Amino acid sequence: MAKYGMVIDLLKCTGCGACGLGCKTQNNTDDPSNGQTFNWADYCESYSGKFPNMKYTMYPTLCNHCTDAPCVSACPVNPKAMYKKDNGITMHNEDRCIGCRMCQRACPYSSNDINADAGAKYSVISFNAAGKETQAKYKDSSELFKGSTSGAELARKSGGTPPYKTEFSHPDYNPVRGANKVEKCIFCEHLVQSGHKPYCTQVCPSEARVFGDLDDPNSEASKLLKKHSSSAVSLKDNKGAMQKPDDGIKPNVIYIRSYAAR
Protein backbone atom coordinates (compact mmCIF):
# COMPACT_ATOMS: atom_id res chain seq x y z
CA MET A 1 0.00 0.00 0.00
CA ALA A 2 1.22 3.52 -0.68
CA LYS A 3 -0.37 6.95 -1.04
CA TYR A 4 1.28 8.81 -3.87
CA GLY A 5 0.98 12.57 -3.63
CA MET A 6 2.86 15.71 -4.56
CA VAL A 7 4.31 18.52 -2.48
CA ILE A 8 4.80 21.77 -4.39
CA ASP A 9 7.16 24.37 -2.87
CA LEU A 10 5.66 27.71 -3.89
CA LEU A 11 8.82 29.67 -2.99
CA LYS A 12 10.67 27.68 -5.65
CA CYS A 13 7.80 27.80 -8.15
CA THR A 14 7.86 30.76 -10.58
CA GLY A 15 4.63 29.90 -12.41
CA CYS A 16 6.74 29.45 -15.55
CA GLY A 17 4.48 27.11 -17.56
CA ALA A 18 6.98 24.26 -18.00
CA CYS A 19 4.95 21.70 -15.98
CA GLY A 20 1.70 22.51 -17.80
CA LEU A 21 3.28 22.33 -21.25
CA GLY A 22 5.62 19.45 -20.43
CA CYS A 23 2.61 17.37 -19.36
CA LYS A 24 0.95 18.01 -22.74
CA THR A 25 4.02 16.76 -24.61
CA GLN A 26 4.23 13.63 -22.44
CA ASN A 27 0.53 12.74 -22.53
CA ASN A 28 -0.43 14.08 -25.95
CA THR A 29 -3.37 16.07 -24.59
CA ASP A 30 -5.49 17.99 -27.05
CA ASP A 31 -6.03 21.68 -27.69
CA PRO A 32 -8.88 23.28 -25.72
CA SER A 33 -12.37 23.02 -27.27
CA ASN A 34 -15.98 23.59 -26.14
CA GLY A 35 -15.13 24.49 -22.60
CA GLN A 36 -12.62 21.69 -22.04
CA THR A 37 -9.00 22.73 -21.32
CA PHE A 38 -7.32 19.32 -21.83
CA ASN A 39 -4.57 20.68 -19.56
CA TRP A 40 -4.00 17.89 -17.04
CA ALA A 41 -1.46 20.21 -15.40
CA ASP A 42 -2.49 23.86 -15.34
CA TYR A 43 -2.44 27.01 -13.24
CA CYS A 44 -4.64 28.80 -10.72
CA GLU A 45 -3.65 32.44 -10.32
CA SER A 46 -4.75 34.11 -7.11
CA TYR A 47 -4.25 37.80 -6.39
CA SER A 48 -5.40 40.36 -3.85
CA GLY A 49 -4.74 43.91 -2.71
CA LYS A 50 -4.50 47.21 -4.55
CA PHE A 51 -1.55 48.79 -6.28
CA PRO A 52 1.23 48.86 -5.15
CA ASN A 53 0.46 46.33 -2.39
CA MET A 54 -0.74 43.61 -4.73
CA LYS A 55 -0.11 40.04 -3.68
CA TYR A 56 0.09 37.44 -6.44
CA THR A 57 0.39 33.68 -6.17
CA MET A 58 0.41 31.15 -8.96
CA TYR A 59 -0.65 27.66 -7.88
CA PRO A 60 0.41 24.97 -10.36
CA THR A 61 -2.50 22.55 -10.45
CA LEU A 62 -3.17 18.90 -11.37
CA CYS A 63 -5.49 16.12 -10.26
CA ASN A 64 -5.20 15.99 -6.45
CA HIS A 65 -5.70 12.20 -6.31
CA CYS A 66 -7.91 12.81 -3.29
CA THR A 67 -8.10 10.16 -0.58
CA ASP A 68 -11.94 10.34 -0.52
CA ALA A 69 -12.29 11.00 -4.23
CA PRO A 70 -15.83 12.19 -5.11
CA CYS A 71 -15.12 11.35 -8.75
CA VAL A 72 -14.71 7.69 -7.77
CA SER A 73 -17.92 7.53 -5.77
CA ALA A 74 -19.78 9.31 -8.59
CA CYS A 75 -18.68 6.86 -11.30
CA PRO A 76 -21.78 4.76 -12.09
CA VAL A 77 -19.95 2.04 -14.02
CA ASN A 78 -19.33 -1.35 -12.45
CA PRO A 79 -16.48 -2.16 -12.15
CA LYS A 80 -15.73 1.54 -11.87
CA ALA A 81 -13.95 3.39 -14.65
CA MET A 82 -12.69 5.88 -12.06
CA TYR A 83 -11.11 3.96 -9.19
CA LYS A 84 -8.46 4.20 -6.50
CA LYS A 85 -5.36 2.07 -6.95
CA ASP A 86 -3.58 0.64 -3.95
CA ASN A 87 -0.75 3.13 -4.58
CA GLY A 88 -3.17 5.99 -3.96
CA ILE A 89 -3.49 7.06 -7.60
CA THR A 90 -7.01 7.94 -8.69
CA MET A 91 -6.88 5.92 -11.91
CA HIS A 92 -9.23 6.25 -14.85
CA ASN A 93 -9.80 3.29 -17.17
CA GLU A 94 -10.50 4.56 -20.65
CA ASP A 95 -12.09 1.32 -21.80
CA ARG A 96 -14.74 1.19 -19.10
CA CYS A 97 -15.50 4.92 -19.29
CA ILE A 98 -18.97 5.59 -20.81
CA GLY A 99 -18.52 9.38 -21.08
CA CYS A 100 -21.31 10.22 -18.61
CA ARG A 101 -19.16 12.99 -17.01
CA MET A 102 -20.52 12.29 -13.53
CA CYS A 103 -16.94 12.45 -12.28
CA GLN A 104 -16.37 15.86 -13.89
CA ARG A 105 -19.52 17.17 -12.14
CA ALA A 106 -18.56 15.67 -8.79
CA CYS A 107 -14.95 16.92 -8.82
CA PRO A 108 -14.60 20.33 -7.07
CA TYR A 109 -11.49 20.93 -9.18
CA SER A 110 -13.28 20.51 -12.51
CA SER A 111 -15.92 22.31 -14.59
CA ASN A 112 -18.19 20.90 -17.26
CA ASP A 113 -17.55 24.05 -19.29
CA ILE A 114 -14.80 26.31 -17.99
CA ASN A 115 -16.00 29.23 -20.11
CA ALA A 116 -19.44 29.09 -18.48
CA ASP A 117 -18.17 28.59 -14.92
CA ALA A 118 -17.42 32.09 -13.59
CA GLY A 119 -14.19 32.24 -11.64
CA ALA A 120 -13.01 28.78 -12.73
CA LYS A 121 -9.26 28.92 -13.42
CA TYR A 122 -8.58 25.32 -14.45
CA SER A 123 -10.30 21.97 -14.82
CA VAL A 124 -8.64 18.73 -13.81
CA ILE A 125 -11.03 16.51 -15.80
CA SER A 126 -11.70 17.15 -19.50
CA PHE A 127 -14.22 15.44 -21.77
CA ASN A 128 -13.73 14.26 -25.35
CA ALA A 129 -17.24 14.77 -26.75
CA ALA A 130 -18.99 11.92 -28.49
CA GLY A 131 -18.02 12.05 -32.17
CA LYS A 132 -15.25 14.54 -31.42
CA GLU A 133 -12.30 14.47 -33.80
CA THR A 134 -9.42 14.18 -31.30
CA GLN A 135 -6.21 15.93 -32.41
CA ALA A 136 -8.28 17.55 -35.17
CA LYS A 137 -5.44 19.90 -36.11
CA TYR A 138 -3.43 16.94 -37.41
CA LYS A 139 -6.34 15.45 -39.36
CA ASP A 140 -7.03 18.69 -41.20
CA SER A 141 -5.67 18.48 -44.74
CA SER A 142 -6.33 22.13 -45.64
CA GLU A 143 -3.28 24.04 -46.87
CA LEU A 144 -3.02 27.74 -46.12
CA PHE A 145 -1.40 28.54 -49.48
CA LYS A 146 0.18 26.65 -52.38
CA GLY A 147 3.56 25.58 -51.01
CA SER A 148 2.59 25.12 -47.36
CA THR A 149 1.96 21.80 -45.66
CA SER A 150 -1.08 20.72 -43.58
CA GLY A 151 -1.70 18.99 -40.28
CA ALA A 152 -2.72 15.80 -42.06
CA GLU A 153 0.42 15.80 -44.19
CA LEU A 154 2.58 16.27 -41.06
CA ALA A 155 0.83 13.32 -39.38
CA ARG A 156 1.35 11.20 -42.47
CA LYS A 157 5.00 12.11 -42.97
CA SER A 158 5.91 11.76 -39.28
CA GLY A 159 3.79 8.69 -38.65
CA GLY A 160 2.15 10.17 -35.56
CA THR A 161 -1.15 11.89 -34.67
CA PRO A 162 -0.19 14.23 -33.22
CA PRO A 163 3.26 14.07 -34.88
CA TYR A 164 4.85 14.77 -31.48
CA LYS A 165 2.90 11.88 -29.88
CA THR A 166 4.89 10.31 -27.07
CA GLU A 167 4.28 6.56 -27.22
CA PHE A 168 3.71 4.83 -23.92
CA SER A 169 1.80 1.76 -22.83
CA HIS A 170 -0.55 1.66 -19.86
CA PRO A 171 -3.33 -0.84 -19.24
CA ASP A 172 -5.82 1.89 -18.39
CA TYR A 173 -4.88 4.63 -20.86
CA ASN A 174 -3.98 5.02 -24.52
CA PRO A 175 -1.36 7.63 -25.53
CA VAL A 176 -4.29 9.51 -27.16
CA ARG A 177 -7.67 8.99 -25.59
CA GLY A 178 -10.77 8.49 -27.71
CA ALA A 179 -14.06 10.28 -28.20
CA ASN A 180 -16.86 10.04 -25.64
CA LYS A 181 -14.32 9.63 -22.84
CA VAL A 182 -13.17 11.89 -20.02
CA GLU A 183 -9.46 12.11 -19.31
CA LYS A 184 -7.22 13.38 -16.52
CA CYS A 185 -3.77 13.17 -14.89
CA ILE A 186 -2.80 9.64 -13.82
CA PHE A 187 0.45 10.81 -12.13
CA CYS A 188 2.28 9.43 -15.23
CA GLU A 189 2.01 5.97 -13.70
CA HIS A 190 3.69 4.54 -16.80
CA LEU A 191 6.81 6.54 -15.85
CA VAL A 192 6.53 5.97 -12.11
CA GLN A 193 6.31 2.18 -12.56
CA SER A 194 9.58 2.25 -14.55
CA GLY A 195 11.36 4.22 -11.80
CA HIS A 196 10.89 7.75 -13.10
CA LYS A 197 9.01 10.73 -11.70
CA PRO A 198 5.84 12.15 -13.27
CA TYR A 199 6.90 14.27 -16.27
CA CYS A 200 5.65 17.58 -14.76
CA THR A 201 8.08 16.92 -11.90
CA GLN A 202 10.92 16.02 -14.26
CA VAL A 203 10.62 19.26 -16.29
CA CYS A 204 10.24 21.72 -13.38
CA PRO A 205 13.36 23.94 -13.66
CA SER A 206 13.36 24.79 -9.93
CA GLU A 207 12.52 21.27 -8.72
CA ALA A 208 9.54 22.77 -6.85
CA ARG A 209 7.47 19.62 -7.38
CA VAL A 210 8.26 16.60 -5.16
CA PHE A 211 6.32 13.42 -5.91
CA GLY A 212 6.28 10.58 -3.40
CA ASP A 213 4.47 8.28 -1.00
CA LEU A 214 2.84 10.42 1.66
CA ASP A 215 2.27 7.34 3.81
CA ASP A 216 6.03 6.73 3.99
CA PRO A 217 7.50 9.12 6.59
CA ASN A 218 10.92 8.69 4.99
CA SER A 219 9.87 9.77 1.54
CA GLU A 220 11.25 13.15 0.46
CA ALA A 221 7.70 14.40 0.05
CA SER A 222 6.73 13.42 3.61
CA LYS A 223 9.87 14.94 5.06
CA LEU A 224 9.26 18.21 3.21
CA LEU A 225 5.67 18.22 4.41
CA LYS A 226 6.77 17.69 7.98
CA LYS A 227 9.38 20.46 7.78
CA HIS A 228 6.92 22.99 6.38
CA SER A 229 3.67 21.69 7.94
CA SER A 230 2.72 25.15 9.25
CA SER A 231 2.43 26.54 5.70
CA ALA A 232 0.89 23.39 4.14
CA VAL A 233 -2.33 24.12 2.26
CA SER A 234 -4.31 22.55 -0.55
CA LEU A 235 -6.75 23.94 -3.08
CA LYS A 236 -10.43 23.48 -2.19
CA ASP A 237 -11.85 24.08 -5.67
CA ASN A 238 -10.87 25.33 -9.14
CA LYS A 239 -11.64 28.96 -8.23
CA GLY A 240 -8.75 29.48 -5.83
CA ALA A 241 -10.34 28.71 -2.42
CA MET A 242 -7.87 27.02 -0.07
CA GLN A 243 -8.16 24.45 2.68
CA LYS A 244 -6.08 22.47 5.15
CA PRO A 245 -4.77 19.37 3.31
CA ASP A 246 -6.53 16.85 5.52
CA ASP A 247 -9.93 18.55 5.50
CA GLY A 248 -12.84 17.45 3.36
CA ILE A 249 -11.94 15.01 0.55
CA LYS A 250 -8.23 15.10 1.56
CA PRO A 251 -6.48 16.24 -1.64
CA ASN A 252 -2.97 14.79 -1.94
CA VAL A 253 -1.38 17.74 -3.78
CA ILE A 254 -0.11 20.01 -1.05
CA TYR A 255 1.53 23.43 -1.35
CA ILE A 256 4.18 24.55 1.11
CA ARG A 257 5.79 27.96 1.79
CA SER A 258 4.63 31.01 -0.11
CA TYR A 259 5.01 32.11 -3.71
CA ALA A 260 5.73 35.71 -2.79
CA ALA A 261 8.45 36.67 -0.30
CA ARG A 262 6.46 39.71 0.86
Q: Give the footprint of other proteins on residues 28-57 (CB under 8 A).
A: 31-32, 37, 39, 43, 45, 47, 49-52, 54, 56
The distance of closest approach from Cβ of residue 71 to other proteins in the complex, given in angstroms and rounded to an integer, is 19
Total residues at the site for other proteins (CB under 8 A)? 86
Distance of alpha carbon 79 from alpha carbon 132, whole angstroms: 26
Cα distance between residue 39 and residue 20, in whole Å: 7
Asked whether position 79 contacts other proteins by CB under 8 A, the answer is no
Judge whether 92 and 183 are in contact, CB under 8 Å.
yes
- Which residues in 225-254 contact other proteins (CB under 8 A)? none
- Choose between 185 and 249: whose C-beta lies nearer to other proteins: 185
Which residue, 141 or 217, has its beta carbon nearer to other proteins? 141
Distance CA 141, CA 222 (A): 50
Residues 179, 227, 229, 241: which binds other proteins (CB under 8 A)? 179
User: What is the b/e burial string over 15-43, where b = at least 16 CB atoms within 10 angstroms of the residue's CB?
Assistant: bbebbbebbbebbbbbeeeebbbbbbbbb
Of residues 189 through 208, those in contact with other proteins by CB under 8 A are 189-194, 196, 199, 202-208
C-beta of residue 136 within 8 angstroms of C-beta of residue 144: no
Q: What's the min distance (Å) between Cβ of 250 and other proteins?
A: 25
Span of 17-25, 100-108, 209-217, 227-235 interacting with other proteins by CB under 8 A: 17-25
Q: Give the closest residue to 104 by CA, choosing from 32, 43, 181.
A: 181
With H, G, I as helix, E, B as strand and everything else as coil, classify residue 49. coil
114 in Cβ contact with 120 (< 8 Å)? yes
Identity of the residue, 3 or 92, whose beta carbon is nearer to other proteins in the bound complex: 92
Chosen residue from 1, 79, 86, 146 binding other proteins by CB under 8 A: 146
Single out the residue of 113, 164, 227, 241 in contact with other proteins (rule: CB under 8 A): 164
Q: How far is the CB of 158 from other proteins (least distance, A)?
A: 5
Give the angle subtended at the CA of 169 by the CAs of 165 and 172, to the nearest 5°: 110
Q: Which is nearer to other proteins, 163 or 248 (CB)?
A: 163
**Contact letters (x/-) for other proteins, 101-140, by CB under 8 A?**
-----------------------------xx-----xx-x
Q: What is the Cα–Cα distance from 212 to 252, expressed in whole angstroms?
A: 10
